[in-house]
Amino acid sequence: MVSLGLLPHQPTMKKPSAHTLHELQLLPQQPGDRSILGLFGKTRTYGGRDALTLLLTSPCATLPEIRERQALFQFVARHLKPLTVNLAHAYVLAAENHLISNLAWSSATGWLKRQQRAWWFSRFHPHDFNRLRGGTAAIQLVLRAIEEKTGWLSTAKQLPAPLHTILDTLNTFFDDPAIQMALRNSDHPVAVLQADFILRHHKNDAVRVVFDALYQLDAYCTLAQFTQTTGWVYPQFIDAERAIFQVTGLAHPLLDADIAITNDFSLSAPSCLSLVTGGNMSGKTTFLKACGIVVYLAHLGLAVPAQSLRISFFDGLFTSIHLSDNLELGHSHFYSELMGIKSVADAIADHQTVFLIADELFRGTNPEDALACSRQVIDAFIRQRGSLFLVSSHLPEISATYRTTDTVQLNCFRTEIIDGKLVCRHQIEPGLAAERTGLVLLAQTGILNGLG
């Protein structure tokens, strides 16, 4: 059994499992799948896309890091124009390809040898020389565009720490005399070969670090611009002994704005577990996913799709929404659920605070087993301090068990049957929903009409 109290510890957010990232649609499972990553829009570079993906899979380890990242994106949003590197993607791609190309370079150092090498290469290998000249020009163009941002960053006031790091990297790079020599404008074959040798061989590692800085800026600007366009808000983290999750105007960000329903919801002491009931298509799963998304985005230091969010810092985010049999491991649906709950129990036993989202707890077994297992697990959850649990169930009997328990908050999504049709409001409210909607949906689909 999970122990009751939590020993004092240093809060550190753990990276969620790939299963959670895909359940919440933060990352696409297959090309073309809708995801939060895709929602943020296209970066200007492929490297920026990789930087954005890395950011989305790297929650801030501590609350101070979250606040630092919030300040970073708010700063970038206020200075989008001077921080945006306006380069056509084709130039960046050409520069990247040249950096890794297998074209031979010339390391000749003497003036006469460089002259001879340049004359021989340009005369007898014109195709390769033109490729080398074009690739070198692309690298120079990208580096000059980045150098322009160095000047602005050097004069900016109250520069956030991550941008200070980028500025230090850029200053060190562009102060190098060899780099300044390589960036001179000259189409002379000797100058081209010398610049190519410096950028693609002698200083290759340093050039790649500067390109990484470009990709970071690309990712930062993409996120800041998205936040400005959508009007998402930055959450307020509450440093308190008892966990809190209070959100207003919450909407699932992957739903179109004209059909998305917003919800207000609060879960805080004395309650630590919300037991959510509701019929099929009532909105439970969409709501749970939206909660998971804002919890995770908040711990990334990003804005969230809501009007406001007050939240505690959690060490871990766990989800159990879309489970199936694991043929590779030989796990049934029910056993997969048990393993998911065990990972939560292990985290709590390790003195971590967790935020758990479980949709239709233990639906992989028969109703009697599901009821018994759910009661035991919920009883263990509500003895924890510092963690919060959102649990939906298709078993109304579970809610009846906790009607008078102050640590359990009963919420529901009600449905109505009007003229024989199911009408869903998709609004969460206090109480218990006991409507049975399966037969209504069966009738609406017309399945039995086709079977005679």
**Does 9 have pLDDT greater than 60?**
no
Instruction: Select from 235, 177, 190 the least CA-distant residue to 60.
Output: 235
Q: What's the whole-number mean pLDDT along residues 16-22?
A: 91
**Averaging pLDDT over each range in 27-36, 280-289, 349-358, 417-426, which range is the top one?**
349-358
Is beta strand 308-311 parallel, antiparallel or unpaired with respect to 244-250? Answer: antiparallel
CA dihedral 250, 253, 256, 257 (to 10 degrees): 40
Q: What are the boundaries of each domain within the chain?
A: 74-230, 233-451
Per DSSP, the three-state class of 23 is: helix
Q: How many residues does the chain have?
A: 452
Please name the residues in contact with 362: beta carbons below 8 A apart, sequence gap of 6 or more.
334, 337, 369, 370, 373, 374, 377
209: how many CB neighbours lie within 10 A of its CB?
A: 14
Residue with tokens 């950096």: 99
Contact 245, 266 (CB under 8 A): yes
**How do residues 218-275 score in pLDDT, each as one tens digit?**
999 999 999 999 999 999 999 888 899 999 999 999 999 888 899 999 999 999 999 9
Report pLDDT digits (tens) over 296-306: 999 999 999 99
Examine the pLDDT at 329 and tell me if it is beyond 80: no
Q: Is the pLDDT of residue 2 over 60?
A: no
Mean residue pLDDT across the chain: 87
The stretch 62-75 carries a mean pLDDT of 95
Q: At which residue do the structure tokens 């109250």 appear?
A: 158
Element containing residue 412 per DSSP (H, E): strand 408-418
| Residue 111 CB-density burial (10 A; 0-12 exposed, 13-18 middle, 19+ buried) | exposed
Instruction: Identify the DSSP state of 249.
Output: E
Q: Tokens for 372?
A: 């018994």
pLDDT (tens digit, 9 = 90+) per residue, 97-153?
999 888 765 554 554 566 667 666 667 667 777 888 899 999 999 999 999 999 999
pLDDT one-digit tens code per residue, 330-384: 456 778 888 889 999 999 999 999 999 999 888 777 888 888 988 999 999 999 9
Can you spell out the DSSP letters for 331-367?
Answer: B-HHHHHHHHHHHHHHHHHTT--EEEEESSTTTTS-H
Query: Hunting for tokens 């996913």 — which residue is that?
Result: 289
pLDDT tens column, 168-214 = 999 999 999 999 999 988 777 878 888 888 898 889 999 999 999 99
Give alpha helix (H) positions in 382-425: 396-401
Enumerate residues 6+ apart whose C-beta is below 8 A from 210: 143, 146, 169, 170, 173
Distance, in Å, from the CA atom of 263 to the CA atom of 284, rounded to the nearest integer, reads: 12
Secondary structure class of 427 (helix, strand, coil): strand
If pLDDT is split at 50, 70 and 90, which confidence band does 439 have?
low
Between the two ends of the chain, the Cα-to-Cα distance in Å is 52
Q: Taking Cα atoms as reference points, which of 38, 15, 16 lies closest to residue 321? A: 16
**Residue 324 confidence class, pLDDT cut points 50, 70, 90:** low
* Alpha-carbon gap, residue 412 to 420, rounded angstroms: 22
DSSP string over 258-309: TTPPPEEEEEETT--EEEEEE-TTSSHHHHHHHHHHHHHHHHTT--BSSSEE
Q: Alpha carbon 37 to chain centroid distance?
A: 7
CA 267 vs. chain centroid, Å, equals 24
Of 58-62, 177-181, 367-371, 401-405, minimum mean pLDDT range: 367-371
User: Rounded to an integer, what distance in angstroms lies between the CA atom of residue 88 and that of residue 212?
Assistant: 17
Q: So what's the architecture of 233-451 in CATH?
A: 3-Layer(aba) Sandwich (3.40)
- pLDDT tens digits, one per residue of 25-51: 999 988 889 999 999 988 999 999 999
pLDDT value for 108: 46
Q: Looking at per-residue confidence, does 287 or 450 come out higher?
A: 287
